[in-house]
Amino acid sequence: MMRKSACLALALCLSLAPGAGQAADGPATIAESTPSGWPGTVEGLWHWALPTTPNGLYPRQSWHATGSAPNGDIYVAGMDHRTNAALYRIEAATGLLRYVGDARSASEAADNWRPGETAQKFHTRPLWHRGKIYVATMDRSDLDAAYLERRGFHWYAYDPATDRFTDLSAKEPGGTAVPHGNLVSLASDPVNDVIYGAGVPTGEIYRYDVASGRTQDLGRPTIYGTPYVYTGRVMWVDGRGRLYFTAMQPEDPARLDHIMYYDPQSGFGEEKDWKLQEGMALETGQCTEGGRRCVFADDRGHVYRFDQDAHSWTYHGQVQTGKTAGWGGVEFWLFALSPGGDSVYLATSTSPKTSEDTALYEFDLATGRTRTICVLADLDPAFAGRHVHTGYDAWDRQGRFYFASFGYPDRPVIVSRIDPDRLKAALARRAEQGHGAAIAR
C-alpha cells in the first residue's frame, strides 16, 4: 500500500461503518447538541459538536480543516467524505458554534450543482484573506486518473460582514475553477490579493485572483517527473510574495526531499539544501510576522523552522512518543505553535488503532526535547472512540488552541479548545493529589 493510504483507509472504514451516509441518532448527550458546547473534565478544556446541516449533512470527519480569524473567531469544516462538506464558526464574542454554509447549498443557490455531483471534503484549512474565509473542495484524493471523471474544484468564501457563504466558482468558465482536479492546501498573498492552492493528484499550483474571480493554472515543477504526487497539506507565502510548498513521491522519497517554491517573477524553483527528513512532505505548520518566520512538521513528527531574514531552513528534531511513527503506528495531524514561539503542541492520531493510543505532546524548539502532556482518552471521555485529531494554526486571542477529533463510534465531529497553561497546571495538581493519596495509603 502506498504511503498516505492511512487517511484513505480510515475514510473507507468510516464510510462502511453502521449508519454511514445517513444521519445518526444525533449527539450522545444534550450538552453535545448545544451551540455553547460543554466544559471538559479538566480545567482548560472545552468541547463543541458539529451539528447536522439543514440539508442533512452529518459531519463525521474533519481533515486539517480548522483555522482562525484575526479577531479570534474559529472556523471548522466538517464532512462525510462522500457527498458534502460544511463550514462552521465559533464566535469569539459569544463562544457559540454555528453552521454558516455548505458546498451543496451554496452551489445550488448559484445554480452550479449538477445532478450526482459531490463535494467529499473541504480538506483545505479555512483561510483568512482580507476579511473573508476561503475554502475549496476536494472530491477525490486517490493518486490516479479517476479525478478526470469528475468536475473540478469550487472556491467558496464566507463573508462575516454579510453572513453569506457563496460559491465563487459559479462565475468561472464551466462553473469550476478548473475542468478537473481538487485542492488540498491554501496560502494567502494579501499584498497582491491572490490565493494559492495546491492540487491533487497532480500537484499543480493554482492562483485565484480575488478581484477578477478567475483561477489560473500555474503548472508544477518539472522535477515531479511522474503524473501523480502526494501534495503537502501546508504551504506558505513569505513577506516578499514567494510561495513555498512540498510534495512527495512514495516510490522515490529522495526525489522531492526538499522545499520548492513559486516566485511570481521567476516561476518555479527549488531550495535543494532545505531538506525534508525521509523525503516527507509537510503536513502542518504556522507562520508569524507575515510569513517571515514559520514552524512546520510532517506527519511523522519531524519539526522545522523557516526564517526569511536569514534565508534559512532548520531541522529541530523529531517528536519522541515511544511509538512507531507512520502507517500502522502514530501520525501527527495536530499542530499549534505556542504564542511565545518557543515550543509546539502536537497530538498523535492512529489509523486504524484506538483512541487510547493518541496523546498530546509539547516539543521544545530550543532543546528538541519532547514532553508528554496526557493521553487524550484519559484526559476526557469526549475523546473516547475518537482517534484522529486534526488542525493547525487555530488560536484565539486568549492563547487557546482548537482542533477537531473524530473516529469510532459514528458520532459527530467534536471541536476542542485547550488553554495549555491552565491544562498543564490542572494536570500538575491532579498528579500531586494522586501522589499524596498514595503516600497516605
Predicted local distance difference test score (pLDDT) of residue 26: 42
pLDDT at 12: 38
Burial of residue 277 (number of CB atoms within 10 Å: 0-12, 13-18, 19+): middle
- pLDDT given for residue 33 in this prediction: 73
Look up the pTM and report it.
0.92
Predicted pLDDT of residue 326: 83
CATH code, domain with 254:
2.130.10.10
Cross-strand bridge partners of residue 201: none
| DSSP assignment string, 236-277 | EE-TTS-EEE-EE-TT-GGGG-EEEEEETTTEEEEEEEEE-G
Q: Which DSSP symbol is given to 137?
A: -
Q: What is the pLDDT of residue 1?
A: 34
Q: What are the angstrom distances between the C-alpha of 175 and each of 42, 126, 216, 291, 324?
A: 48, 21, 14, 32, 45
What digits encode the pLDDT tens for the residues 380-394? 999 988 999 999 999
DSSP for 357-423, written as a single string: G-EEEEEETTT--EEEEEEHHHH-GGGTT--EEEEES-B-TTS-EEEEEE-TTT---EEEEE-HHHH
b/e 179-207 (16+ beta carbons within 10 angstroms → b): ebbbbbbbbbbbeeebbbbbbbbbbbbbb
The C-alpha atoms of residue 143 and residue 248 are separated, in whole angstroms, by 12
Task: Name the phi and psi angles at 13, rounded to 5.
Answer: -60, -45
Which residue range(s) make up the domain with 391?
A: 5-440
**Chain centroid offset of residue 13 CA:** 20
C-alpha–C-alpha distance, residues 243 and 357, integer Å: 36
3-state SS class at 104: helix
Residue with cell 517527473: 225
Contact 414, 33 (CB under 8 A): no
What pLDDT is stored for residue 325 in this prediction?
87
**Running DSSP on this structure, what letter comes out for residue 152?**
-
DSSP secondary structure letter of residue 121: B
pLDDT of residue 398: 97
Query: Which of 271, 181, 187 has its CA nearest to residue 223?
Result: 271
Mean pLDDT by 10 residues, the chain (441 residues): 42 38 42 86 97 96 97 97 97 97 98 97 98 97 93 98 98 97 98 98 98 98 95 97 96 95 98 97 97 97 98 98 87 97 97 79 98 95 94 97 88 94 96 58 28
Spatial distance between the Cα atoms of 386 and 388, rounded to a whole number of angstroms: 6
Q: Distance (Å, rounded) from C-alpha 219 to C-alpha 242?
A: 16
Phi, psi of 137 (to 5 degrees): -90, 150
Number of domains in the chain: 1
Please state, in angstroms and as integers, the Cα–Cα distance from residue 57 to each residue in 118, 119, 121, following that order.
12, 11, 12
Q: Could you say which DSSP state residue 141 is in?
A: -
pLDDT value for 41? 95
pLDDT of residue 16: 35
Which pLDDT score is estimated for 9? 42
The C-alpha atoms of residue 376 and residue 357 are separated, in whole angstroms, by 8
> Which strand ranges, in their side-by-side order, compose the sheet holding 127-129?
127-129, 132-136, 155-159, 164-167
Q: What is the pLDDT of residues 367-426, one digit of tens each?
A: 999 999 999 999 999 998 899 999 999 999 999 999 999 997 677 899 999 999 999 999
User: Do residues 195 and 174 make contact, with C-beta atoms less than 8 angstroms apart?
Assistant: no
